[in-house]
Amino acid sequence: MSNTVQKTDAEWQAILSPEQFRILRQKGTEPAGTGAYDKHSADGIYSCAGCGTPLYKSTTKFNSGCGWPAFFDAIPGAVSRHEDRSYGMTRTEITCTACGGHLGHVFKGEGFPNPIDERHCVNSVSLKFHDDKA
């Protein structure tokens, strides 16, 4: 991808908060129910907090009750999927395609009433919201 953002850990630490660095660069997770965007419902775009790449439209956000923002689909090409075998289980990790920042995990087949029965469980710290009124 031509919009790849590559920085050293020191460069990321200079522009991210310690919590953003822990989650985006070290694959951490914020505690459930603590993120600013879990129950957020304004119209707009959710971008990567690391590099600013647009990731999700508010029209794909839904209330899953899981304690993290949930989306049923990403902007095409914005989010990459990787197998994650940490913590003794196999999950699908999602990252920002442009900078590789950890967003969370994607789950399928949970029965949520959305067009593809998929849930992108995303850390609020990994996102920045921009409303449509710009």
Q: Please indicate, yes or no, if residue 3 is contained in any of the structural domains.
A: no
64 occurs within a structural domain? yes
48-79 pLDDT per residue, tens: 999 999 999 999 999 999 999 999 999 999 99
Q: List the one residue out of 58, 51, 60, 59 whose CA is nearest residue 1.
A: 51
Residue 133 has a pLDDT of 63
Q: Is residue 115 part of a domain?
A: yes
Q: Does residue 90 form part of some domain? A: yes
In the predicted structure, residue 7 carries a pLDDT above the cut 70: yes
User: For the residues 22-42, what does the mean pLDDT come to?
Assistant: 96
Which of 48, 51, 99, 121 is catalytic? The answer is 121
Nearest Cα neighbor of 46 from 31, 33, 35 is 35
Active site residue 48: no
Position 98 pLDDT exceeds 90: yes
Greater pLDDT, 88 or 119: 119
The single-letter DSSP state of residue 23 is I
Residue 1 has pLDDT above 50, yes or no: no
Count up the domains in the chain and report the number. 1
- Reply yes or no on whether the pLDDT at 117 is more than 80: yes
Whether pTM > 0.85 for this model: the answer is yes
CA distance 73 to 30: 21
Domain assignment of residue 39, yes or no: yes
Do 25 and 8 touch, CB atoms closer than 8 A? no
Residues 101-118: what's their mean pLDDT? 94
Q: 4 falls in which pLDDT band (50, 70, 90)?
A: confident
Domain assignment present for 4: no
**Domain harbouring 27, CATH code:** 2.170.150.20
Does some domain include residue 66?
A: yes
Which amino acid makes up residue 134? A
- Overall average pLDDT of the 93-99 stretch: 97
**What is the domain range of residue 42?**
9-131
Residue 2 resides in a domain: no
